[in-house]
Amino acid sequence: MGRAPCCDKANVKKGPWAPEEDARLKSYIEQHGFGGNWIALPQKIGLKRCGKSCRLRWLNYLRPNIKHGSFSEEEDNIICSLYISIGSRWSIIAAQLPGRTDNDIKNYWNTRLKKKLLGCKQRKDQNQQGRRAGASKQAEAKRDPENGNPPINACPSTYWPEASAVPMYPMSQVEQRADEENSSIRRLLMKLGGRLSSDNPLSVPPATSLLPLQQAYDASTASLMATSVQITDPLMTDFNPAELDEMFGCGSTKLEGLDCFYGLGNMVDDNSGGASTSDTVTWSEVSSLIYQPMVPSYQGVMQPCLFEEPVHLGGSQ
């Protein structure tokens, strides 16, 4: 049984919105709201548009306080940080950036940030390979004649430091930590009320996303105890925690916009007996719970309720 179309495709206009259409939609919604039914809205105001299209136009463009234009470095950091921890949950990421829409962030990520990271990662890998092979002539040519190091700006991104400054975890050390970290991430997710990926048959009901933390915890504990999640994005699996610290320039500073992680250091300490301070969280600490470079069966999937602002999921608005 096929799904009924949401509107009469034949009588619906597509493509860019005309200023008159924008004005009509905007003024109506500002005066009356969307009326609880997007599908019916275009008919009410005489627009030959799909209701979904109206909704999208309003949310992404006409809504008040929408911020257009270039993203700040701080916003970049937040987006990258959250992407690596929760993946392409654009609506959740957008909730952390007032005035930005999920569509905006998604576009920004796809057109700029991803390339930035991938491009630099490729360069970094090339540099490392070059070193292992005794450094290529090309790399040598680029070195600073003063100190023999490659130029600092060899990578156009501000995120990537010189590769040689990035320490790698020895295999054995990572393997040793794997079991501890497996339980760490589970405990973290349980503590925060984690939701597992949709391909997990034991996923907690989506409704828990709006529950208080304790309820979310109660609801999700059973499934979390019995399962694991996965990193599927090659971009995410391709970095190690120390790289991420360096990448986001947060080796010793608190990550901007990631208040939700504050106090995580204590949790890490609880597990490992470490001695990091509670008011400072680095990627090494965060991603040791979320990101498992040598244990690919884990994914950092965090609950919307983890964030300070409530994330609206479903229902009317």
State the residues that interact with DNA by CB under 7 A. Answer: 1, 3-4, 6, 9, 13-17, 34, 36-40, 49-53, 55-57, 60-61, 68-70, 88-92, 102-104, 106-108, 110-112, 115, 198, 205-207, 209, 311-317
Residue in 180, 189, 176, 192 with CA at minimum distance from that of residue 270: 180
Q: Which is nearer to DNA, 67 or 131 (CB)?
A: 67
Q: Which is nearer to DNA, 170 or 315 (CB)?
A: 315
Residue in 162, 196, 181, 192 with CA at minimum distance from that of residue 262: 192
In this structure, are residues 206 and 311 in contact, taking their beta carbons and an 8 Å threshold? no
Burial 213-244 (b: 16+ CB within 10 A, else e): eeebbebbbebbeeebbbbeeeebbebbbbbb
Cα Rg for the chain, rounded, in angstroms?
A: 23
CB atoms within 10 A of CB 46: 10
Minimum distance, C-beta of residue 49 to DNA, in the bound complex (Å)? 7
Q: Which is nearer to DNA, 32 or 115 (CB)?
A: 115
Q: Which is nearer to DNA, 4 or 275 (CB)?
A: 4
Q: Which is nearer to DNA, 51 or 293 (CB)?
A: 51
Minimum distance, C-beta of residue 167 to DNA, in the bound complex (Å)? 31
Residue in 116, 136, 113 with CA at minimum distance from that of residue 126: 136
Q: Which is nearer to DNA, 55 or 121 (CB)?
A: 55
- CA 194 to CA 144: how far, in whole Å? 48
CB atoms within 10 A of CB 13: 14
Q: What tokens appear for 98 in the block? A: 């007032």
Residue in 303, 264, 302 with CA at minimum distance from that of residue 284: 264
Minimum distance, C-beta of residue 99 to DNA, in the bound complex (Å)? 13
Report DSSP state, residue 206. G
Q: Which is nearer to DNA, 47 or 267 (CB)?
A: 47
3-state helix/strand/coil string of 225-274? HCCCCCCCCHHHHCCCHHHHHHHCCCCCCCCCCCHHHCCHHHHHHHHHCC
Q: Which is nearer to DNA, 63 or 187 (CB)?
A: 63
- DSSP letter for each residue of 172-199: HHHHHHHHHHHHHHHHHHHHHT----TT
Minimum distance, C-beta of residue 60 to DNA, in the bound complex (Å)? 6
